[in-house]
Amino acid sequence: MSGLFISFEGIDGAGKSTHIESLAQALEATGRIVVRTREPGGTPLAERLRQILLNEPMDAMSEALIAFAARRNHVEHIIRPALQRHEVVLSDRFTDATFAYQGGGGGLDEDFLSILEQWVHLPLQPDITFWFDVSPEVAAERLKGARLPDKFESQPQEYFAKVRAAYAARMASDASRFVPIDAHQSPQGVWEQVQTALAKRGLLAA
Ligand code: TMP
């Protein structure tokens, strides 16, 4: 049994969190050891960088540099060791989020991000990336009344339209890694899509 790295992406309000936990439990029920983690974050240093990234105003390049500094620490201390132990890593976001938010939303040059990606973690990439795709309108409805929004969550819908388009472009450039999930559906409908994708790969019972 080899290690398995799965990431979860989507605009804020796409509703990925509950499904990450359901998937963790389903994989544990098959006997796998599952590491639940997130970006930015996952280590004490990266969690401190998360607070800065989510709360301090700065330009998109500074955001990307902080995101990749946090990621470097996360990859070296959590992700690679877990994969070497043949465990499953479920990460709530990874590098696609930097391409989507700082690239798409913030207008940062994609070539610059590709260089950081190359230096920081390639050839390591998630084996599977679930992209929870939802319209910015539906996401905004879901976020209403939730906890106090952070810097990204308080962006206007036009920003999220650009983030969403960047996710779509990222998927087009690496289609075999991505599993698009129609996140407009009910929680049960969304879960069935996640489960079916893993069953197809022989990772969960059909
Ligand atoms: P979360 O609320 O889903 O945990 O994500 C944290 C926020 O940080 C979310 O609004 C997306 C944003 N983000 C970036 O802007 N760049 C990144 O590289 C990552 C990983 C997250």
Looking at the 3D structure of the chain, how many domains does it have? 1
Beta carbon of 38 within 6 Å of any ligand 1 atom: yes
67 lines ligand 1 (CB under 6 A): yes
- Whether 101 lines ligand 1, by a CB cut-off of 6 Å, is yes
Confidence band, pLDDT 50/70/90 cuts, at residue 64: very high
- Residue carrying the six token digits 């009344």: 145
In this structure, the residue with its CA closest to atom 13 of ligand 1 is 97
> Does the global pTM surpass 0.85?
yes
Identify whether 113 is part of a domain. yes
Residue 206 inside a domain? The answer is no
Q: Which residues contact 111 (CB under 8 A, 6 or more apart)?
A: none
pLDDT exceeds cutoff 90 at 206: no
pLDDT in tens, 46-55: 999 999 999 9
Residue 70 covered by a domain: yes
pLDDT at 149: 86
Q: What is the pLDDT of residue 136?
A: 96
Is residue 72 one of the residues assigned to a domain?
Answer: yes
**Other beta carbons less than 10 A from residue 4's beta carbon:** 21
pLDDT digits (tens, 9 = 90+) for 128-168: 999 999 999 999 998 887 778 899 998 999 999 999 999 99
Domain extent, residue 63, equals: 4-200
Q: Is the CB of 40 under 6 A from ligand 1?
A: yes
What CATH number is attached to the domain comprising 129?
3.40.50.300
Residue 8 within a domain: yes
Q: What is the dihedral of CA 148, 23, 105, 141, to 10 degrees?
A: -50
**40 Cα nearest atom in ligand 1:** 20
Kindly state whether residue 30 falls inside one of the protein's structural domains.
Answer: yes
* CA nearest to 69, candidates 98, 91, 92: 98
Judged against a pLDDT cut of 80, whether residue 205 lies above it is answered with yes
Sorting pLDDT into bands at 50, 70 and 90, what band is 6? very high
pLDDT for the residue 7: 98
pLDDT tens-digit profile of 167-176?
999 999 999 9
Provide the 8-state DSSP code for 11.
S
Tens-digit pLDDT profile for residues 75-90: 999 999 999 999 999 9
- Residues in Cβ contact with 118 at an 8 Å cutoff, skipping those fewer than 6 apart: none
β-partners of residue 182 are 133
Question: Which tokens go with 10?
Answer: 């989507």
For 23-40, the pLDDT digits (tens) are 999 999 999 999 999 999
Average pLDDT of 169-184?
98
In-domain check, residue 205: no
| Any domain includes 31 | yes
pLDDT tens per residue across span 86-118 = 999 999 999 999 999 999 999 999 999 999 999
Task: Round the average pLDDT of the chain to a whole number and report it.
Answer: 96
